[in-house]
Amino acid sequence: MNDMLKYKGYYGSVHYDVDEPIFYGKLEFIKALVSYEANDAVGIKKAFEEAVDDYLALCKQEKIAPELPFKGSLNIRLGHELHEKVAILALRENVSINKYICNLLKQVDGRIAV
Whether the Cβ atoms of residue 100 and residue 86 lie closer than 8 Å to each other: yes
Map out the domains of the chain as residue ranges.
4-61, 80-109
In terms of Cα–Cα distance, which of 18, 20, 23, 17 is closest to 36?
A: 23
Cα–Cα distance measured from residue 53 to residue 56, given in angstroms and rounded to the nearest whole number: 5
Q: Which pLDDT score, from 0 to 100, does residue 107 have?
A: 87
Q: What is the pLDDT of residues 17-53, one digit of tens each?
A: 999 999 999 999 999 999 999 999 899 999 999 999 9
Q: Which pLDDT score, from 0 to 100, does residue 112 have?
A: 66
User: Model's pTM, two decimal places?
Assistant: 0.77
Q: How does DSSP classify residue 19?
A: T
Output the CA–CA distances (angstroms, integers) from residue 17 to 13, 22, 24, 30, 48, in the order listed. Answer: 13, 5, 8, 23, 16
